[in-house]
């Protein structure tokens, strides 16, 4: 997970690894939930969003010979397709967040992402936002 700031809040790249299909339930019942004290509320993204924002990175050299990376949608991933079992997806998220946050005792400026598949938590990750949110 690589979170960062943009003008509308947080921008986050997340790599989703689909190790094995759930034993029961719809294989396209895939959701990613973000939670943090810096968000207005928990944000959740469904399979339609994930499939339409699956990206691949393409490395190239610019005219000066400098290494560059650009991102393009993965054409094979669609809302009608199943998740790539045994594979992964790289998804870019735009998440609305607060410009300033008053922390209560015990609060931390971290962003937690949770992968839910067929209603079951498959994985989660937490990253600090200390560069984006600093103490005054």
Residue 95 lies in a domain: yes
The number of folded domains in the chain is 1
**Domain limits for position 15:** 2-99
What is the helix (H) or strand (E) element at residue 31, kind and residue range? strand 30-35
Which pLDDT belongs to residue 1? Answer: 46
pLDDT in tens, the chain (136 residues): 454 555 567 888 899 998 888 888 888 899 999 999 888 899 999 999 999 999 998 999 999 999 998 889 999 999 999 999 888 999 999 888 887 777 778 777 788 999 999 888 888 888 877 555 555 5
- Does the residue 85 lie in any domain? yes
Residue 110 maps to a domain: no
Q: In 40-102, where do the E strands start and end?
A: 43-45, 54-61, 67-73, 87-96
Residues 6+ apart with CB under 8 A from 80: none
pTM of structure = 0.82
Is 132 a domain residue?
A: no
């Amino acid at each position: 997970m690589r979170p960062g700031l943009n003008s509308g809040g947080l921008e986050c790249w997340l790599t989703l690894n689909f190790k094995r299909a759930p034993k029961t339930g719809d294989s396209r019942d895939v959701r990613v939930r973000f939670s943090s004290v810096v968000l207005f509320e928990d944000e959740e993204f469904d399979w339609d969003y994930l499939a339409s924002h699956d990206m691949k990175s393409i490395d190239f050299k610019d005219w000066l010979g400098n290494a560059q990376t650009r991102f393009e949608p993965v054409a094979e991933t669609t809302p009608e397709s199943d998740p790539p079992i045994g594979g992964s997806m790289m998804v870019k998220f735009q998440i609305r967040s607060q410009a300033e946050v008053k922390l209560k005792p015990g609060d931390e400026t971290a962003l937690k992402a949770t992968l839910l598949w067929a209603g079951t938590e498959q994985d989660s990750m937490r990253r600090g936002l200390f560069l984006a949110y600093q103490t005054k």
